[in-house]
Amino acid sequence: MRVTRVLFAAVAFVSLALAGTSGPADDVVLPDGKAKALIENTCTECHGLDQVVSSPMSSEQWRSTVKSMVKKGATLSAEQIDTVVDYLTVYFSPDRVNVNTAGAQELQDGLQITAAEAAAILQYRKANGAIKDFAGLQKVPGLDQKKLASKKDSISF
């Protein structure tokens, strides 16, 4: 099994090298980071890197995706899973909603809050100026704190 895998990797490597710069996998260049090589090696066994980078996700979503890839057969230790999830969360996260510049609709859609909650944020912004951080946002009256906490990764200031 192990020998087959090594052989397979060797063949894949040679064909990649032969393909030069024209293969579809070459279109994706990962940003430098701790998990770059690991992802290039592990996450290309079954599909291209385009599959990996075309789905921006929050940290929890990346964790469950990477875990499901491990179930499918990706070989990563628990520690490597952490490294990969951290890296993917930094570089491939969905666009965050800026709570200081977003309009009512964007706040509603992006944070999945009610119209009344979005209005409360606008109102608070108007009265108190820019919201500086998450603790500041928590002070806005009338927000569902639990829902807010679950969206922490999708918010910027």
CA distance linking residue 10 with residue 155, whole number of Å: 44
User: 27-56 mask for ligand HEC (x: CB under 6 A)?
Assistant: ------------x--xx-xxx---xx--x-
Per rule CB under 6 A, is residue 89 in the interface with ligand HEC?
no
CB of 60 to ligand HEC, least distance (A): 14
Closest CA relative to residue 12, chosen from 52, 51, 44:
44
CB of 7 to ligand HEC, least distance (A): 17
CA geometry: angle 113, 117, 118, nearest 5 deg = 80
CA distance linking residue 129 with residue 126, whole number of Å: 6
Which residues of the shown chain bind ligand HEC in the complex (CB under 6 A)? Answer: 39, 42-43, 45-47, 51-52, 55, 65-66, 69, 72-74, 76, 84
